[in-house]
Amino acid sequence: MCTGRCARCLGISLLPLALTCTLANAFLLFPNFEYRYIIEGNVSRHAWVMSGLWGGGFMVFIAAKSFMSTSSKTGCCEFRTEMLCSTLYSAVALTGSTLCFMICCTGLVKGPLCAYKVTFSNKSQGLEWGYPLEQFSTREVNYLYNRTSWFTVCVEPHNVVIWNVVLFCILLALSGAEALLCVVQILNGITGCVFGPDVRNNKVGPV
């Protein structure tokens, strides 16, 4: 069946996307590949949620394995059962990738957690951890469109804004592609259930 081959192709396509999502989210936890920020708890909450690990990663990976097994089922009932299961897995993976997309979108707009310069009540200056780019965006244009703020607002970690923007954009692209492929598989699975093998060839044998 063409639907079985299509499911296998979709599964093969989803596997590297799920793996890359997992790696991208892991990198978000280690700005500049330094582990001390995660030990100190100075990592963005949207990275801590790890939506790229469980949403765009694990849930999509399980669905992809299910897609790849459908093409090996040749029996009528068995094939339809597998296609129905793959449709349900697709819905679960679609939920995971959509949640990953929404969380990453929020994290990208909010900006990274970083140390920035503040002036205290006694007029002395120091560093404070927070989300300064979120405050910057409410007063002026969003920081994403003002690249000067990428290098002037956050003091530590070094170049954390670029790190944050690049990885969240990668996660957005990957989770969006995963969601699209899952929608295709849902349609493919429904087609396989309705127009599966032996639908047109079932005949009553002679008595």
Which tokens in the block code for residue 126? Answer: 């120091």
Count of positions (residues) in the chain: 207
Cβ–Cβ under 8 Å, residues 127 and 63: no
pLDDT confidence of residue 120: 72
CA atoms within 13 A on the CB side of 58: 5
Q: What is the pLDDT of residue 101?
A: 97
Token representation of residue 103? 């969380």
Backbone angles phi, psi at 134, to 5 degrees: -65, -40
User: What is the Cα–Cα distance from 52 to 172, expressed in whole angstroms?
Assistant: 9
Query: What is the spatial distance between Cα 190 and Cα 26, in angstroms, rounded to a whole number?
Result: 35
| Cα–Cα dist 66/59, whole Å | 11
At 206 the pLDDT is 46
User: What is the predicted pLDDT for the residue at 207?
Assistant: 41
Instruction: Give residue-wise pLDDT tens across range 149-195.
Output: 888 889 999 899 999 999 999 999 999 999 999 999 999 888 877 77
pLDDT digits (tens, 9 = 90+) for 84-143: 888 899 999 999 999 999 999 999 999 999 999 887 776 778 888 999 888 766 555 788
- Check residues 5 and 10 and name the one with the higher pLDDT: 10
Residue 152 is predicted with a pLDDT of 87
User: In this structure, are residues 21 and 52 in contact, taking their beta carbons and an 8 Å threshold?
Assistant: yes
DSSP track, 73-109: --SHHHHHHHHHHHHHHHHHHHHHHHHHHHHHHHHHH
Dihedral (Cα; 146, 152, 157, 162), 10-degree rounding: 20
**pLDDT for res 190:** 87
